[in-house]
Every structure is written in structure tokens, then in C-alpha cells.
Amino acid sequence: LPEDSSAIISRFQQYLQINTAQPSPDYSGAADFIFSQAKTIGLESQSIEFVKGKPVLLLKWPGTNPDLPSILLNSHTDVVAAEYHKWTHPPFDAHLDKTGDIYARGSQDMKCVGMQYLEAIRRLKNSGFQPVRTLYVSFVPDEEIGGHDGAEKFAQSEEFEKMNVGIVLDEGLASTNENYRVFFGERCPWWLVIKATGSPGHGSKLYDNSAMENLLKSIESIRRFRASQFDLVKAGLRAEGEVISVNMVFLKAGTPSPTGFVMNLQPSEAEAGFDIRVPPTADEKMLEKRLEEEWAPSSRSMTFEFKQRVSTLNEFGKPVVTATDDSNPWWSLLEGAVKKANGKLGKPEVFPASTDARYFRLRGLPAIGFSPMANTPILLHDHNEFLNQAEYLKGIEIYESIIKAYTSYTEHTRNDAYRDEL
């Protein structure tokens, strides 16, 4: 590796070594690091604590025409927890192996992207490039737990309003082939708990309407639905983000005893939790009906509760998605810029899980999910998350090209996609 590249990789490793794992992320460590980077690059920086101890770090590269809507490059500073003993290299060592793979929690999700933004800016600045539009880079907390104290408050703030943002880039997913994946929307999380009650009884007795039987009937029904959705994906008829996913995440029942559970007692209560993800264009009413009639019918002594239920629609009743046609110039600009840097984009997709991009889209802004990682296994939230250094360096070139194209775009763009509704 040339001298320059090893310095770039070592800065990436430094960021990865800061333990920002939920539930107690080292946000002040991350802030110190990001601000020290901003200083050496020559970017203005600001920390906004909408919630104490959870800073939104905002960097700014002023453009020559501050009247044009600005560009926002967003990333989150937190990462999910890691089970240390199940990793081949400790998750916060950022170990670089002989093949160039860098192992760390956050190497894909999404400290890579945050640092790639900064490295791209550093190079552009050094080359003498001048942006026309102002460029902002935000590092937000708490994405992994829903972003309520981070991007959600940020997107709704006066500070954000003043930034006059026209387009947001946020995270995507690694691609296992040579085409980068790119996302225009995301599925909405519905975290459902269903609860069954029934008559308790002797473990030897066959009878109807026990809590366990009632719950199992629901689970069977939910699993049939799950299979019907999964089959569409397996048959290649639908993309991952276009079906409703339903996965059971907990089961809770039984009567505890000092040695485990009482074995000859059928319990009077049983419950199960499901992580459901609903595509932006899905029929919510249909799903609700299914839930009321088949998954948790009161006729079977069942109740349900949502731990979280995010609507697929915005305040105008429209799906929360970013346009991918001619009405959104940022799409073709992105395509062109990636191509110019010798990269290829796949077909725009719906992100299968949730990201902070939703909060920007809810404001009526276009937001594109994109993490430039091609030919890479998808390891976010998994053990042994890694990114190859060559792929990381390639991503920096991709962002250089995007930042050039975006900040140089001088056509008048509206920064309010809902103008028609308003």
C-alpha cells in the first residue's frame, strides 16, 4: 500500500476502535475523534445535544453559493453489540489481516461510510476543489435503537431547517456482487406481541382452549403467512424489501420451578413476540385484519399489543419513499457520479430494515441509502463483520465523485418534495 493509503486505513481503524456499542456507546470518544478529523481537514464543526450525552456532530464545508439547497451526508456513530468470544478477532481491535480484511463491529454498519465521507472531502480539499452548494456531514447517535434521540430530533429541529438541505445520503447495505446496492425507501417495523390466555389444567389432560394451544394456532397461522412471503422471494418474484417479513423473536410461557419449569401443569398464559417489517406500499389494513381475525382473535382468548408500529404513510397519506424518476435529479447525478468513478449501481431497492433516512424522507426530502461495498458478504449485526481495505479505498473515490457532482449541481432544485400537497 502507498504511504497515503496506510494513513487512511489507520484512521478508519482508529474510529472502529472506539467502542460505541449500544446500550452504552462512547459518544464522547467518537465526538473527540470526529472533531479532531474535522480540524485537520479544515471543516467547521458543531455539536448539538438534543438529548444530553447524545451529541449530533455536524460538520460544514461552505459552498460558494449558499442560497442553493445544501447536501447532507449522514452516518450514525453507534453500533450494535458484539459477542466477543464468537469473533475470530476482537470486535473493537479493527484487526487488519493478510488479505486486507478489517474486522470490527461497525466496519460495514456504518463507520466505513462516515469515514469515507471525510476522506473524500479531505482529498477534494487538498486538490483545490470548491463546492458550489454547501456540504454538511452529520454523525448521529442512537440509530441502532430507533434514532429517536438522534436523527429524529435533528430532522425536526430549527438547526436542520436553517441548513436548507436538498438531498440526504444515508446508509445502504453491502452487495455480494459487483453492483452497489441503492435504496429509495425502507420497510416499516411493526413489533408485535400476541398473548393467549386459557384454562390451566393437569399436564395429562387433553382439552381445548388452553393458552398454549391458543397461542400455537396463531403461530401456525403466522408461519403459513411467513412462508407465503418467503416463497415469493425464493421464487425470484419479489425482492427482499418488497414482501412482509415476520420473524418470531421471543416465546414466553410456562410455570417456573426451582429446577426449571413445572412439567405437569398447562399454563394459563402464553405469549410470543414478532418482528414484522412492512414495505412502504403494502396494504396495512389487510395486515391489521389478518392480525385481528387470524393471528390474535379475541374469539380464541387472544390479545395483542404493538411495542412499535411505524406507519408506511406520511402525513399526506403517501408512502414514505424517494422518487427514482426524472422528478428527482439526484438519482441520475448519483448514477453518473458512480459510473464516472468506475462503479455500477444495481436496481433501486427498498431497504429491508429501518434507518435514519426515514426521518429525512418524512420531512419531504429525498434521501438515498447507499454504502459503497461491492463483492462483500452482508455482515451487519453479524459476528466477524469486516470490510476489505481495497473496497473501503474504492468507496472513497466513489464519494469524491458523488460530492463533486452533487455540490457542483447548479440547477434550481426544490428542497420540499411536498410543495404540491402544501
Ligand X SMILES: CSCC[C@H](NC=O)C(=O)O
Binding residues for ligand X, rule: CB under 6 A, are 144, 146, 189, 353-354
Q: Which of 142, 143, 349, 397 is catalytic?
A: 143
Comparing CB distances to Zn ion, the nearer of 295 and 392 is 392
143 belongs to the catalytic site? yes
76 annotated as a binding-site residue: yes
Quick one: what does residue 110 bind among Zn ion, ligand X, none, with the CB cut-off 5 to 8 Å set by partner type? Zn ion
Whether the ω angle into residue 329 lies within 30 degrees of 0, i.e. cis, is no
- Shortest Å distance, C-beta 343 to Zn ion: 21
Q: Is 275 a catalytic residue?
A: no
144 is in an annotated binding site: yes
- Give the up-direction half-sphere exposure of residue 141: CA atoms within 13 A in the CB hemisphere: 27
Measured torsion, CA atoms of residues 74, 77, 81, 85, in degrees rounded to the nearest 10: 110
What is the spatial distance between Cα 372 and Cα 208, in angstroms, rounded to a whole number? 55
> How far apart (Å, rounded) are the C-alpha atoms in residues 381 and 21?
11
- Which distant-in-sequence residues (6+ apart) come within 8 Å of 141 by Cβ? 25, 27, 54, 55, 56, 76, 77, 78, 149, 150
Cell of 84: 466477543
Is 381 known as a binding-site position? yes
Contact between 110 and Zn ion by CB under 5 A: the answer reads: yes
Identify what 116 binds: ligand X, Zn ion, none; CB under 5 to 8 Å per kind.
Answer: none
Nearer to ligand X, 290 or 309 (CB): 309
Provide the angle, in degrees to the nearest 10, between the axes of the packed helices 329-340 and 389-408.
130
Nearer to ligand X, 50 or 330 (CB): 50
Nearer Cβ to ligand X, position 144 or 271?
A: 144
| Catalytic-role residue among 78, 149, 349, 356 | 78
If the CB atoms of residues 216 and 353 are measured against ligand X, the closer one turns out to be 353
Closest-by-Cβ residue to ligand X is 353
CB of 189 to ligand X, least distance (A): 4
Q: Which stretch binds Zn ion (CB under 5 A): 17-25, 163-171, 262-270, 322-330?
A: 163-171
Cell of 235: 421464487
| Cα dist from 298 to 135, 174, 215, 295, 383, whole Å | 54, 43, 12, 10, 41
Is 109 assigned a ligand-binding role in the annotation? Answer: yes
Residues in the chain: 422
Using left for φ > 0, alpha for ψ between -120 and 50, and beta otherwise, residue 395 falls in: alpha
Q: How far is the CB of 192 from ligand X (least distance, A)?
A: 13
Task: Report in angstroms how near the CB of residue 111 gets to Zn ion at its nearest.
Answer: 10
Binding residues: 76, 109, 144, 171, 381
> Which residues make up the interface to Zn ion (CB under 5 A)?
109-110, 171
| Active site amino acids | 78, 143
Please enumerate, by residue number, every residue annotated as part of a binding site for Zn(2+).
76, 109, 144, 171, 381
